[in-house]
Amino acid sequence: MKILGIHIGHDSGSSLVVDGQIVADVSEERFVRIKHYAGLPVNSIHFCLNAGKTSFDELDFIAISGEITDPKLKILLNLSDEQFNQIITNNLPQISFGARVKNIIKNRITYHESSPLYMSFYNLAPKTKVIKVDHHLAHASSAYYTSGFQNCLIITCDGVGDGTSVGVWNGSHGKIKEIKRYGTSGSFGWFYSLVTEALGWWVGDGEGKTMGLAPYGDRKAVLKKEVLANYLPGYQNGEITKGIDFGTVKYFREHDAFHWHFPDAIKIQKVVQDFGPENVAAEAQDLLEESLLDFIRCWVKKETARNLATAGGVFLNVKLNQKIIEDNIVENYSIFPNAGDAGLALGAALYVSKKFSPDNTTQKIDHIYWGPSYSNDEIELILKERNLPYRKSDNIAQEAARALADQKIIGWFQGKMESGPRALGGRSILFDPGKPENKDIINMRVKFREPFRPFCPSIMEEYAHEYLSTSYKDRYMITACKVKDEKRNVIPAVTHVDGTCRPQLISRQINRRFWELLDYFHQYTGVPVILNTSFNIKGEPIVCSPRDAIKCFFDTGLDLLCIGDFIVSKR
């Protein structure tokens, strides 16, 4: 059974699941080079089909996350008006016949877009069924079906999707059952995004900056903290006790990406001006952690849950995830690494896979290397065409480790690209973590971003217990944890101002070449840790192809590019 997952919207992308196994998953932004691209995921679909060695007419199902009435779907699948309206009708919620007719008529008369002859994408095969999967159900599926839990509580939380901002679900023996939904009046995500806009950052992208800035502030300094609290929804015993009216949230579309605007952001902006951005960020982070943690505690108790799985953009907040882990409210906790909307295509595909398959088991993923890869022959051809100085290495991991020990900054392009927003040793920039000034060097010379932005440590799994004060095995940089006091001066460039880090544990079995690099670096320096950040500059997607890597290499202060088995230097 072959299922193609498609998400059209913020962080458009595609995935392929074959006989219950994840074959491919990628965001369209990596191909079109526009961050958070919201257009048609044509390149993503093409990659997924090639990765699965399948054709479009061999698909059994196409799983669409979220709103299926998007007219771009008609162009993507080359549908007639009749076919398009039939798909819409079959996937509409259970509403009256009259309302359905009105919706169909509305789509007929408001849809004026048409593709030119040269823009031909795909032809839907007669056997292929198109199924809409609700936005938060897709999030819940991504969390549950990758957790390995047979029974668990599932919490989904983001700004809003299909009218839902928070969802509570039960996962049991391969089936997901809805328990409770909350709309935008209870949106933790919109609260945090409102503050993010007031701080001057892009909603749907800058929330990580808000989180990174928070440890530099003091929430007590925000004397008017009730201004922030006024926008925080209140919950008690699983019910909303204080709903928030966020007003009419608007958006501006630029370069096929969405930029949202909250009307009350200007009020928070005044607080930022009066009390400082770092203090406002600190207050927002603390309020989010306290309120959402209480909400989760409530539902864990209600459902007597031992296991918890989460997804949705709010759970990209690693400090929040740290609080959940340290609270010990459940025995086992799993966060889907690609928790934001970029994970919806895979969530939709997994849901349909389980719905129409007799296999009702869940599987715990051990990696998310589901993107494109390039052979040495492909890489060398590109290097030759560009007349670049390069040489082939007999041991790329050892040479890279030696260069890192000699204080070189390296672009590391190896194997399959990672899914999600984190660089996990496939498309990474690497540096020595042993000098505190190295954080500033990377921010200024390579990433061209704010100086407060932290970097992550990649750590050999065997030595994690020596450096980290947690037993949680995080392979995806999805949680924060404390660095042990005696090790903070050993790896200062990856230790945040509050003494925490966002680690990636490296296993020899999962990413052998990256593990070998760390092992050689450990032999040279005595430290089994490397500073790892995404292979991109501020405002751009992570590199996908060798061409992207070469461009970023020559556009930054990188010293070496280790790409496949080749080392590229600058003249």
| pLDDT tens by residue, 261-287 | 999 999 999 999 999 999 999 999 999
**With a threshold of 0.85, does the pTM exceed it?**
yes
Q: Is the pLDDT of residue 503 over 70?
A: yes
Nearest to 446 by CA among 552, 567, 569, 560: 552
How far is the C-alpha of 336 from the C-alpha of 140, rounded, in Å? 9
Q: Which of 276, 302, 335 finishes a domain?
A: 335
Q: Is the pLDDT of residue 71 over 90?
A: no
How far is the C-alpha of 492 from the C-alpha of 480, rounded, in Å? 15
What count of other Cβ atoms lies within 10 Å of the Cβ of residue 563? 24
Same domain, 94 and 221: no
Banded pLDDT at 360 (limits 50, 70, 90): confident
231 neighbors 222 (Cβ within 8 angstroms): no
Which of 112-116, 260-264, 356-360, 538-542 is predicted with the least confidence, judged by mean pLDDT? 112-116
Nearest to 560 by CA among 419, 437, 393: 393
pLDDT at 560: 98
pLDDT in tens, 370-388: 999 999 999 999 999 999 9
Residues 6+ apart with CB under 8 A from 80: none
Average confidence score pLDDT of the chain: 93
Is residue 368 in some structural domain?
no
Same domain, 203 and 326: yes
Same domain, 131 and 208: no
pLDDT at 103: 47
127 neighbors 337 (Cβ within 8 angstroms): no
322 neighbors 500 (Cβ within 8 angstroms): yes
Q: Is the pLDDT of residue 75 over 90?
A: no
Segments forming the whole domain that contains residue 382: 376-568
How far is the C-alpha of 475 from the C-alpha of 59, rounded, in Å? 32
Q: Output the six-digit token pair for 185.
A: 């009046």
Q: Which of 277, 305, 335 finishes a domain?
A: 335
What count of other Cβ atoms lies within 10 Å of the Cβ of residue 440? 12
Find tokens 């779907």 and name the residue.
Answer: 73
How far is the C-alpha of 363 from the C-alpha of 20, rounded, in Å? 9
Domain count, the chain: 3
Banded pLDDT at 225 (limits 50, 70, 90): low
Same domain, 269 and 229: yes
Same domain, 164 and 126: no
240 neighbors 298 (Cβ within 8 angstroms): no
How far is the C-alpha of 63 from the C-alpha of 41, rounded, in Å? 13
β-sheet bridge partners, residue 2 = 18
Same domain, 324 and 405: no
Same domain, 493 and 436: yes
Q: Is the pLDDT of residue 563 over 90?
A: yes
Residues 6+ apart with CB under 8 A from 423: 429, 532, 533, 534, 535, 542
Q: How many CA atoms lie within 13 A of 276 on its CB side?
A: 14
What three-state secondary structure class fits 410?
strand
Same domain, 110 and 169: no
Q: Which of 335, 356, 391 finishes a domain?
A: 335
How distant, in Å, are the alpha carbons of 136, 175, 282 from that of 179?
12, 13, 32
Task: Check which CATH number belongs to the domain holding 315 and give it.
Answer: 3.30.420.40
289 neighbors 323 (Cβ within 8 angstroms): yes
pLDDT in tens, 17-63: 999 999 999 999 999 999 999 999 999 999 999 999 999 999 999 99
Mean pLDDT for the stretch of residues 560-564? 98
